[in-house]
Chains A and B, each alone.
Chain A
Amino acid sequence: MKAIVCVKQVPDTSGVVAVKEDGTMDRAAMATITNHDDLAAVEAALRIKDATGCKVVVVSMGPPPAEGMLRELLAMGCDEAVLVSAREFGGSDTYATSQILAAAIKKIGVDDDDIVFCGRQAIDGDTAQVGPQIAEKLGMPQVSYVAEINVDGKAVTVKRLLEDGYMTIKVQTPCLLTCVKELNDARYMSVGGIMECYQKPLEVYNYETLKDDPLIDVTTIGLKGSPTNVYKSFSPPVKGAGMMMEGADKATVEKLVSILNDKHII
């Protein structure tokens, strides 16, 4: 048995956000982090490794600097890493990305008792689409929004979050689970792990590596193969300044309430 975990390096949108003059995000100027939900997926896989001794392979599609993130995940305890990186893959939307990642996962090899993990969604796009789309391309069952996992041989029982509760779902391996960050608290890299992480295998899959897979067709990958395109992108305008009240005492509050009252807001 092994666990294959899809991870994404994302700009830290909670920190300083750099926007270029043309209105697009200046990724190069922003700090990068491992996507939160993906870290929960890595931790979930490592906990299964702790219990069963299974192998954990992390796979990420992105530019070459994503190797740094993969080394960190190896230092956390993952066994092998695959970086999927090629110019031909650039500009892919979720459909195209899932084709490429599915091809990469097939190349890694999916056995009967394997589980593929993804984060629920990435904080840069918030789409939550790539996980289910990989599952479809691999022809395996999926469960998304997973907040609890129990593995018993080939049977996997999970708790799947709904807005107002949850579903308990049983699924057989091989399957794909997308994890929410509430699933666990990810461990830190260990000192030993940091020492070892450069000795662990990290393979790069480029276009050549994957091109024989039927999923890798120039008409369905990259910017040109993506079904969706950006029509326009724009920055929301700053809302017209409201009224800043002077002071913060009783008189201020009473003045505010009288304005609200006069305008029939309260």
Chain B
Amino acid sequence: MFPFCFEWVWDMGHLVFHGGLWYALSIIGMGMTYCIIKAVIDTRRGGSSHH
């Protein structure tokens, strides 16, 4: 998982795998952060945005 493991050898597979993984994780993370922050702001403004 991490380069400090004793048997670690960098190769193409790591770049592709970690590229895909962190891409997906960051989109999920940023998406949820956006939703939560926006919900906090909306709530502070006192409004409840109806569908």
Q: Do A and B bind each other?
A: no
